[in-house]
């Protein structure tokens, strides 16, 4: 089982990704360097957690682009979604 990231790490990671999505990739060390460039953090542990979270999100998004879920069709009779 993995460790759960704190809300501060998640928000900061999502903010960084929304502003610099094209600069981040699937490599942890490159993401770590980018986090240190973009943010002036005093804690190396926080930098590592942010870089790890960003790497996780980028990898997850990359996998979701390859294998997309089937489109759900809407049932007109009941207004519900079918699978």
Whichever domain contains 50, its CATH number is: 1.10.60.20
82 part of a folded domain: no
> How far apart, in whole angstroms, are the C-alpha atoms of residue 70 and residue 66?
12
SS3 state of residue 46? helix
Q: What is the pTM of this model?
A: 0.71
Per the structure, the count of domains in the chain is: 1
The pLDDT assigned to 69 comes to: 46
The pLDDT assigned to 39 comes to: 92
Query: Exposure of 51 by Cβ count < 10 A (0-12 exposed, 13-18 middle, 19+ buried)?
Result: buried
Q: Residues of the chain whose pLDDT is less than 50?
A: 68-69
The pLDDT assigned to 70 comes to: 53
> How far apart, in whole angstroms, are the C-alpha atoms of residue 12 and residue 59?
18
77 part of a folded domain: no
């Amino acid at each position: 089982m993995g460790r759960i990231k704190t809300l501060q790490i998640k928000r900061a990671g999502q903010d960084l990704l929304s502003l610099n999505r094209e600069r981040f990739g699937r490599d942890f060390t490159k993401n770590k360097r980018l986090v240190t460039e973009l943010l002036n953090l005093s804690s190396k542990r926080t930098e590592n957690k942010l870089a790890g979270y960003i790497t996780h999100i980028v990898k997850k998004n990359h996998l979701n682009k390859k294998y997309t879920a089937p489109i759900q069709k809407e049932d007109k009779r009941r207004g519900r979604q079918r699978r």
